[in-house]
Amino acid sequence: MTQPDLSCSNPPHWRLAVIGAGPAGFYAVGELLKQQEIPVKVDLFDRLPTPYGLVRGGVAPDHQKIKNVCKIFDRIASQDHFRFFGNIEFGRDLTRKEMLEHYDAVLYTVGSRSDRRLGIPGEGLEGSHSATEFVGWYNSHPDYREKRFNLNSEQAVIIGMGNVAIDVARILSHRMEELRQTDISDQAFLALDSSRVRDIWVIGRRGPVQAAFTPVEARELMHLPDTEVELEADALNLDASSKKFLQEEAGKDTRKNIELLQGMLETPPRGMKKRLHLLFLASPVEILGKDGRVTGIKLRRNRLLEKPDGSMGAEATDQTFELQTGLIFRSVGYRGEPLPDVPFDDTSGTIPNEAGQILENGKRCPKEFAAGWIKRGPSGVVGTNKPDAIESVNRMLATLNASESEPLEKGEVPDILKLLQNKGAEVVSFSDWKLLEDYETKAGEAEGRPRKKVGTVEEMLEVIRDRRQD
Ligand SMILES: Cc1cc2nc3c(=O)[nH]c(=O)nc-3n(C[C@H](O)[C@H](O)[C@H](O)COP(=O)(O)OP(=O)(O)OC[C@H]3O[C@@H](n4cnc5c(N)ncnc54)[C@H](O)[C@@H]3O)c2cc1C
């Protein structure tokens, strides 16, 4: 990587670290470098050699337009006083103490790496997975490369009805010619190409008015060339409270969803190869199995119940039913993982904070901040992370402005690169990443695809090492 200027310029810069190069991390870096209040140098770390977080490893391969946001992130990364430290994991390569010794302020933007569990019997059976694993697998995320899914099962069941659940359903339903043109991982493409999945059940615990998917995702389902969407005949016979809500309070997304669902209901069966069933008002009770493998799922019917705060909850009835399946995905929300030594709220799966400033035992940490999913929980689209990051950056700047200490650059504290070099860490700079990106893009071009992703960290590092020498 380009050797940084270790000399102290005048006036000294505040050294800032951002940990996690997803949307929240990049938006925060962009704001920090744009502001004129105080001079700063910003280092952005990621545990992977690749930047962009879930834009690379979460957003579905058939949603390439959304990935254009990476061009904005690249412009941010091209500015002075910015460095990328890829392949450096907080907790593995660097500790909280070391970060606080080397930086005037640290911003954690590590996202929500794990997922929420259902807490029902049978969840650990072979064939029961989190959507996180499947999404990571089809997106070539190195953590999920070894995963295998039973695509011999003719029925697949997805628990949850948010956009991630719909992504999973769409990938299982797609015509292969369309997936072939994307940057889906090769192994996922091959496995899906011989998939026997024909019936895909997406299960929501509440009704259509409460469904969490957005109209854009719902509309896409109606245009899948080999798949028809099926709803129960009475799916849109709404209860009185939902009807009232729809007429008086519902936003335009909810109204549009209902309109789209009406369209699905009215479309007569067309005898297509696959069927995608949207099943409302049902919750899983138990995952059934034999010899350690999933054979089915037991569900119960719910009815809607108005809660004291006016929102609609799901209340269990005593009616249960079963679906046969060898493949189940839970998609009931992502969840943050604790970082070593960093405060963590186990209930919400987030870092406790006040407007982005981290709270430790209720007290503000003077130098530590959080943004993105690890700050507010796993909600919102890529763009939602911008105002969220700005709030945290504003808090950081106000704290630095009010600080009585001097920027570390003024003293004898060495650059973090020295520490990483002493530890033998292999740092991937932004220009290194661009070598890898160029390799992936060229390999993709040859096959008419946007890129062909490299699937393991070791291979990524090899590609970078080879090209650095050229
Ligand atoms: C499956 C899925 C599909 C989605 N599809 C869309 C979509 O189509 N459109 C849309 O607008 N939004 C979509 N989103 C939402 C969007 O991806 C998120 O809002 C956004 O990525 C959250 O940003 P973040 O920076 O908080 O977290 P992330 O994007 O998760 O970034 C966190 C980064 O931190 C790094 N990291 C984690 N731990 C460490 C550590 N210890 N040390 C160093 N680095 C670390 C990770 O490698 C990662 O790069 C989707 C989300 C998911 C899960």
Dump pLDDT digits (tens) for 327-358.
999 999 999 999 999 999 999 999 999 999 99
* CA 372–ligand 1 middle distance (angstroms): 8
Are 318 and 228 part of one and the same domain?
yes
Contact 257, 211 (CB under 8 A): yes
* CA 55–ligand 1 middle distance (angstroms): 6
Residue 448 included in any domain: no
Question: How much is the pLDDT for 310?
Answer: 81
Contact 71, 431 (CB under 8 A): no
Residue 8 included in any domain: no
* CA 292–ligand 1 middle distance (angstroms): 33
Closest residue (by CA) to atom 48 of ligand 1? 53
Are 271 and 165 part of one and the same domain?
yes
Are 196 and 122 part of one and the same domain?
yes
Residues 4-31: what's their mean pLDDT?
85
CATH code for the domain of 42: 3.40.50.720
pLDDT in tens, 395-446: 999 999 999 999 999 988 899 999 999 999 999 999 999 999 999 999 999 9
* CA 200–ligand 1 middle distance (angstroms): 26
| Single pTM value for the model | 0.95
Residue 459 included in any domain: no
Closest residue (by CA) to atom 5 of ligand 1? 59
Q: Which of 19, 56, 59, 168 to mutate to test the pocket of ligand 1 (most atoms within 8 A of CB)?
A: 59
Residues 293-318: what's their mean pLDDT?
94
Are 26 and 85 part of one and the same domain?
yes
CATH code for the domain of 250: 3.50.50.60
Question: How much is the pLDDT for 8?
Answer: 45
Are 221 and 258 part of one and the same domain?
yes
Provide the domain count of the chain.
Answer: 2
Question: How much is the pLDDT for 470?
Answer: 75
Contact 302, 206 (CB under 8 A): yes
CB of residue 20 inside a 6 A radius of ligand 1: yes
Residue 48 included in any domain: yes
Indicate if the pLDDT at residue 383 is higher than 70. yes
Are 192 and 281 part of one and the same domain?
yes
Question: How much is the pLDDT for 311?
Answer: 84
Mean pLDDT of the chain: 95
Indicate if the pLDDT at residue 309 is higher than 60. yes
CB of residue 289 inside a 6 A radius of ligand 1: no
Structural domain that includes position 80: 14-113+336-428
Are 98 and 153 part of one and the same domain?
no
Residue 9 included in any domain: no
